[in-house]
Amino acid sequence: MVIEKMMFEHIDLLRGETETVNYKLILLPVYSLKFLEEKNLIPDEMRIKEILNHESNIADQLQRSFQYVEDNFHALKGVYTIFPENVVSNRTLFQLLLKINAMTLSVKEWAELAEELLYHSYEWEGVRGGENYSPKSINQLGIELLNPISGTFYDGTAGFGGTLVSALEYSKQNNGELKLYGQEIDHTSWALAKLNLLLHDKLDAELIQGDALLNPAFIDGDRLKKFNFIMMDFPWVELRNHYETLKQDKYNRFIYGIPPRRSADFAFIMHTLASLESDGKAVLVVPGRTLFASGMEQSIRQNLIAADVIEAVIALPAGLYKHTGIQTNLLILNKNKSLDRKGRILFINAENEFQTKQRYLKVLTKDNIDKIISTYRNGLEIEQFSKFVSSNEIEEANLFYKKYLTEKVIDTDFFGKVQFVKESKEYSLNIYPLKKLTEKIFRGMNVSSNSIEEGTGEFKLVKLSDVQDGEILLDDLSSIRFKRNSRIDMYLLRKGDVIVSNRGTTIKVAVVPENEGNLILSHNFLGIRCKDDIDPYYLKAYLESPVGMYYLINSQVGTNILTINPKDLKEIPVKLTSLDEQRKIANEIREAVITYKEKIRQAEQERNASLLKAYEKMGISSLFKIIEQ
């Protein structure tokens, strides 16, 4: 708290004179100067005390000291160019240096001060500040998973250096000796990382500015230098620039497949594998899409699985990053898996392992981290939390945890929380995958203002808001006219089609009733056209049941928006009875719903009548008039 209070005193001086983005660019360079003073590494004439003697020209004197440091410490060459000029007054700089000059801190306290400043900058700057900052709890978890006590450690997207610092601290705590290597594409972030490491008393870390994919800094002949440990929280970007150059990779990194242009994820994954020693281990932070995306990504994942270099996938809670609510995962790569883990991948669902620190921001606590570490190190299989899956059981190279760790407890509309118990012998009879009971399962149409005109036309569009309480509100549907030729027949609904919403956390199911319009299914739904041996209303009732919802919920995939793919919907098991029995059951359920709604309506009428009598006794009933109910 003392360190934080000290930092805020410095920030208070800057507040109002310059943008928040400049706080760290001013304070870290000045802190580093004071740190070098306390280590007796710079002469008296370059120290803050001497700068203060030139009160009318503080900025120039400060730049003179920065230049001395760059000239005499090769590792800091180019770092102090980030110090912004002419953004605060000479008077403010003088007052700031007075306060900093009065500080006397231990090495541990300097390190704490650097961490506090970078963390608060991340909080203040939102998306702009979050691009180069990895939350400390994610770094702590990743480093403990790696256990890098001695050897070499590399981060190819170093950002502000938080991951390198976490590795350094872990090694020190375990009396080890770790050589740090890193690369960072952005000059400002690289400079801040350098200063961060300096304030952690680590001047000899080899941190190079540059693009790790296009121009890797650490080369050994015609191959990349190998490291014992790697951790990266790489940016989720496209490979737009220099893609053709990257494809012709002279370092032979892409042996598992050429990474797609649309995402750099697998370029970084394969860069990591190419940078690992034969017994090396890596932890990468990846979004969900990396684990289940089709096409080129799927092919690369299949090759990684075949090579047996994936040791574990750990699903983290959504909301750990301030700049995005996307759920993230740790992908653990290991070139030397133990004998008992060969041919298997450990999946851990840690989505619920968090503590809410602020309104929305979540953190991994020590208990959360310890639970994950214990599960990983000891290879524990815990119901709904962790499970080993054989490589030959992984379908379509899908590494998304929900495929293997299903949610046993779900929220239902009528029964609240429901726990799915083990399937009984009775249930296992007459079970068929949905694809066996349908003519087709089809996607809805992705419409836009470029493709349709609303308010006119012979077609009507079924949107998500048009389905309420299990029914399509036919009178509310928007008329549409197509502006260009489209495969309209692919999206036309028939009477008896079952539609299931395929986007978002709330799943809606409805049956298309008798109608006079040409109904078009929107992209928010999947359509199911039943064969003659299943009643559509029975299928709707089954899908809306706790068992059906269990299968639908566990079919959802996605990072930001959960979706259900047609291929997964086709595999949902359906319990079938005779057609007559299906119709009887469907009618019983419809009657139960109708009775429920009628009782609700009657209860509301009785409540309103009682309220009106009470208002009459209060003498206020004449002051208002009910115009619509």
How far apart are alpha carbons 120 and 118 in whole angstroms? 6
Q: Provide φ and ψ at 460, rounded to 5°.
A: -125, 135
Q: Are residues 276 and 375 in the same domain?
A: yes
How far apart are alpha carbons 285 and 299 in whole angstroms? 20
Burial 216-253 (b: 16+ CB within 10 A, else e): bbbeeeeebbbbbbbbbbbebeebeeeeeebeebeeeb
Write down which residue in 105, 121, 148 finishes a domain: 105
Q: Are residues 589 and 488 in the same domain?
A: no
What pairs with residue 334 in β-bridges?
281
Q: Is the pLDDT of residue 110 over 90?
A: yes
Q: Provide φ and ψ at 94, rounded to 5°.
A: -60, -50
Amino acid 359: pLDDT: 67
What's the rounded mean pLDDT across residues 287-293?
A: 93
- Identify the residue with better confidence: 450 or 4: 4
- pLDDT tens by residue, 606-626: 999 999 999 999 999 899 998
Q: Are residues 594 and 529 in the same domain?
A: no
Q: What is the DSSP letter of 563?
A: B
Is there a domain that residue 333 lies in?
yes
Q: Are residues 501 and 530 in the same domain?
A: yes
- Identify the residue with better confidence: 399 or 414: 399
Q: Are residues 162 and 203 in the same domain?
A: yes
Q: Are residues 534 and 588 in the same domain?
A: no
Is there a domain that residue 320 lies in?
yes
- pLDDT tens by residue, 557-606: 876 677 898 988 999 999 999 999 999 999 999 999 999 999 999 999 99
Q: Are residues 499 and 572 in the same domain?
A: yes
What residue type is 35 in one-letter code?
A: F
Q: Are residues 178 and 295 in the same domain?
A: yes
Question: Taken in order 158, 159, 160, 163, is the CA torsion positive or negative?
Answer: negative
Q: Is 523 exposed, middle or buried (0-12, 13-18, 19+ CB in 10 A)?
A: middle
Q: Is the pLDDT of residue 61 over 80?
A: yes
Q: How many structural domains are present in the chain? A: 4
**For the chain, what is the mean pLDDT?**
92
How far apart are alpha carbons 226 and 336 in whole angstroms? 14
Is there a domain that residue 628 lies in?
no
Q: Is 123 exposed, middle or buried (0-12, 13-18, 19+ CB in 10 A)?
A: middle
Q: Is 82 exposed, middle or buried (0-12, 13-18, 19+ CB in 10 A)?
A: buried
Q: Is the pLDDT of residue 427 over 70?
A: no
Q: Is the pLDDT of residue 126 over 70?
A: no
Distances (CA, A) of 414 to 38, 222, 346, 410: 67, 64, 35, 12
Amino acid 428: pLDDT: 65
Q: Are residues 437 and 351 in the same domain?
A: no
What pairs with residue 572 in β-bridges?
none
Is there a domain that residue 322 lies in?
yes
Is there a domain that residue 125 lies in?
no
Is there a domain that residue 451 lies in?
yes
What residue type is 591 in one-letter code?
A: E
Closest to 59 measured CA to CA, from 23, 99, 97, 33: 97
Written in H, E and C, the secondary structure of 287-325 is: ECHHHHCCCHHHHHHHHHHHCCCEEEEEECCCCCECCEC
Q: Is the pLDDT of residue 425 over 80?
A: no
As a whole-number percent, the residues of the chain with pLDDT over 90 amount to 77
Write down which residue in 372, 403, 434 finishes a domain: 403
Q: Are residues 436 and 475 in the same domain?
A: yes
DSSP reduced 3-state for 427: helix
Closest to 96 measured CA to CA, from 46, 60, 67, 62: 62
Structural domain range at position 57: 2-105
Write down which residue in 47, 78, 105 finishes a domain: 105
Beta strands in 463-497 (DSSP E): 467-468, 471-472, 478-482
Around 377, how many Cα atoms within 13 Å sit in the side-chain half-sphere? 13
Is there a domain that residue 128 lies in?
no
Q: Which CATH number goes with the domain that contains 225?
A: 3.40.50.150
What's the token pair of residue 9? 């005193």
Q: Are residues 386 and 445 in the same domain?
A: no
> Model's pTM, two decimal places?
0.83
Written in H, E and C, the secondary structure of 333-387 is: EECCCCHHHCCEEEEEECCCCCEECCCCCEECCHHHHHHHHHHHHHCCCCCCCEE
Q: Which CATH number goes with the domain that contains 463?
A: 3.90.220.20
- pLDDT tens by residue, 306-327: 999 999 999 999 989 887 778 8
Estimate the share of the chain in helix, then strand, then coil, as percent rounded to the nearest 5: 45, 20, 35
CA dihedral 420, 422, 428, 431 (to 10 degrees): 30
Is there a domain that residue 352 lies in?
yes
Residues 6+ apart with CB under 8 A from 610: none
How far apart are alpha carbons 25 and 192 in whole angstroms? 8
- pLDDT tens by residue, 159-172: 999 999 999 999 99
Amino acid 246: pLDDT: 92
Name the least confident of 122-136, 153-167, 497-511, 530-544: 122-136
Burial 574-591 (b: 16+ CB within 10 A, else e): bbbeeeeebeebbeebee
Amino acid 580: pLDDT: 95
Q: Is the pLDDT of residue 513 over 70?
A: yes
Residue 492 and residue 518 in contact, taking contact as beta carbons nearer than 8 Å: yes
How far apart are alpha carbons 403 and 405 in whole angstroms? 6
Question: Taken in order 277, 253, 301, 142, is the CA torsion positive or negative?
Answer: positive
Q: Are residues 345 and 458 in the same domain?
A: no
